[in-house]
């Protein structure tokens, strides 16, 4: 069985490969050489699941703000096999007018050491050597440009392990509006990163109903039980992403953001955000409670026009903050 590579390591390796390739890489070059894909790559075999994984990873990278470019071959529009992917350095560099305090510079140096260790690893060097053997020009590593991608939710690793072992899990989960967490027992099917958040797609063993849970709302350590699950057909990860995308498209809020503020800049960068002729922003979301938390962090820079439920959620949070601080 191929070695299981963690999602953040696979994304890190993909960013590194695309950043160091001057002219970009084809899908086949990526799948056959980059760590996290090449372990499952079979020359002449069925690569459908691997290609789906790559498509999801492209979306995740773009959601992280990485400028991933798609270059179609001249005279061959729509030819996915010869399409090349790359991350231009000029789009990854910091603007020249940004400066850091001594404390911030110290933290960035520590982060650069982590990046350098990963970029200079034997695994990274082997991948670059293999790409060179395929005739791909690889530039020097841009160590100062990119951070290492990490998973912040403590529940991620045990859930990933449970999916791999096909085991039932238990954990405490706090739903919005509730004061106490409830115990959940679920069959985990997939972990999906969407809208900068990690989601668990899982099935209730008793009912067979499939639901999505935010990892950030898991309040207790995840317990992996000894209950084994049968192998599932289909692609639960693709199913999960499709449901999240559908929910994202169906749910939107109407917001008024002050011009030239951090709130306006960040909201405009959200996927699918549009500005109406009257200047109001139409912002899509999957979770109203999460959006309310984010909007509260902008303070007076943004005002919710609709829906009413979101207005109430933001107002209650601001009232609670005001009460806590007298």
* Cα end-to-end span (Å), the chain: 59
For residues 47 and 188, is the Cβ–Cβ distance under 8 A?
Answer: no
Residue 262 has pLDDT above 80, yes or no: yes
From the centroid of its chain, how far is CA 76?
A: 31
> How far apart are alpha carbons 310 and 18 in whole angstroms?
40
> How far apart are alpha carbons 163 and 227 in whole angstroms?
12
Each residue's pLDDT tens digit, 26-69: 998 999 888 888 888 888 888 888 888 888 888 888 877 788 88
> How far apart are alpha carbons 312 and 112 in whole angstroms?
43
> How far apart are alpha carbons 272 and 8 in whole angstroms?
25
Considering the chain, what percentage of its residues have pLDDT values greater than 90? 38
> How far apart are alpha carbons 201 and 188 in whole angstroms?
6
pLDDT value of residue 39: 86
At 149, the pLDDT band (50, 70, 90 cuts) reads: very low
- Give the mean model confidence (pLDDT) for residues 235-247: 92
Residue 211 CB neighbours (<10 A): 13
pLDDT value of residue 3: 54
pLDDT value of residue 13: 83
Total-model pTM:
0.57
> How far apart are alpha carbons 198 and 181 in whole angstroms?
19
At 135, the pLDDT band (50, 70, 90 cuts) reads: very low
CA angle at 54 for the pair 242 and 7, rounded to the nearest 5°:
90
Cis peptide, bond prior to residue 305, ω within 30 of zero: no
From the centroid of its chain, how far is CA 10?
A: 12
- Give the mean model confidence (pLDDT) for residues 92-121: 58
Domains identified in the chain and CATH numbers = 7-133 (no CATH), 156-241 (2.30.30.520), 251-324 (no CATH)
* 8 or 236, greater pLDDT: 236
């Amino acid at each position: 069985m191929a070695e299981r590579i963690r999602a953040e390591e696979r994304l890190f390796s993909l960013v590194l490969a695309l950043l160091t390739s001057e002219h970009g890489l084809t899908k086949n070059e990526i799948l056959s050489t980059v760590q996290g894909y090449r372990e499952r790559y079979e020359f002449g075999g069925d690569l459908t699941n691997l290609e789906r994984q790559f498509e999801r990873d492209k979306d995740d990278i773009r959601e992280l703000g990485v400028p991933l470019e798609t270059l179609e071959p001249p005279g061959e529009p729509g030819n996915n096999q010869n399409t090349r992917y790359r991350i231009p350095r000029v789009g990854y560099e910091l603007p020249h007018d940004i400066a850091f305090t001594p404390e911030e510079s110290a933290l960035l140096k520590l982060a650069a050491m982590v990046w350098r260790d990963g970029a200079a690893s034997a695994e990274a060097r082997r991948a670059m050597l293999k790409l060179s053997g395929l005739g791909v020009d690889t530039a020097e590593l841009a160590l100062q440009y990119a951070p290492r991608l990490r998973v912040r939710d403590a529940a991620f690793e045990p859930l990933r392990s449970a999916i791999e072992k096909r085991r039932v899990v238990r954990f405490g989960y706090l739903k919005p509006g509730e004061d106490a967490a409830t115990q959940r027992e679920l069959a985990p099917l997939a972990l999906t990163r969407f809208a900068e958040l990690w989601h668990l797609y899982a099935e209730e063993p008793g009912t067979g109903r499939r639901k999505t849970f935010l990892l950030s709302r898991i309040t207790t350590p995840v317990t992996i039980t000894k209950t084994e699950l049968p192998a599932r057909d289909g692609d639960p990860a693709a199913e999960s992403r499709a449901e999240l995308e559908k929910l994202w498209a169906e749910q939107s809020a109407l917001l008024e953001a002050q011009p030239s503020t951090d709130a306006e800049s960040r909201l405009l960068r959200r996927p699918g955000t549009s500005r109406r002729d009257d200047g109001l922003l139409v912002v899509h979301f999957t979770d109203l409670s999460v959006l309310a938390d984010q909007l509260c962090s902008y303070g007076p820079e943004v005002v919710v026009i609709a829906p009413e439920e979101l207005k109430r959620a933001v107002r209650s949070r601001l009232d609670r903050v005001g009460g806590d601080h007298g």
